[in-house]
């Protein structure tokens, strides 16, 4: 990591084009000033949408699977 008081840069990205633009902008515009500094790229996973389960398919998915997915999402 950078020395105490040095520049540190973090860019958070997800699956959107806006966040990828932010990373490109950082690399294009700050490349000289952060060449010896750490660049942290923080990636974010999208939240799983379980709303696709309709009432007609209720019971088709085992409750343990839903619980497992929800627990995994909470850990993220």
Q: Is 1 within a domain?
A: no
Q: Is 71 within a domain?
A: yes
Q: Is the pLDDT of residue 3 over 60?
A: no
Q: Are residue 50 and residue 35 in the same domain, yes or no?
A: no
Q: Is 3 within a domain?
A: no
The pTM of this model reads 0.51
Q: Are residue 64 and residue 39 in the same domain, yes or no?
A: no
Number of domains the chain is built from = 2
**Closest C-alpha among 52, 25, 50, 49 to residue 39:** 25
Q: Is 61 within a domain?
A: yes
pLDDT tens track for 20-63: 899 999 999 988 888 888 999 999 887 776 666 565 555 566 77
CA distance 28 to 8: 16
Q: Is 2 within a domain?
A: no
Q: Are residue 51 and residue 27 in the same domain, yes or no?
A: no
Full residue range of the structural domain in which residue 69 is found: 46-75
């Amino acid at each position: 990591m950078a020395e105490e008081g040095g520049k540190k840069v973090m860019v958070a990205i997800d699956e959107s084009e806006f966040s990828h633009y932010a990373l490109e902008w950082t690399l294009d515009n700050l490349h000289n000033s952060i060449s010896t500094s750490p660049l942290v790229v923080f990636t974010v996973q999208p939240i799983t949408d379980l709303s696709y389960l309709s009432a007609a398919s209720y019971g088709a998915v085992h409750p343990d699977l839903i619980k497992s997915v929800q627990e995994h999402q909470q850990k993220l």
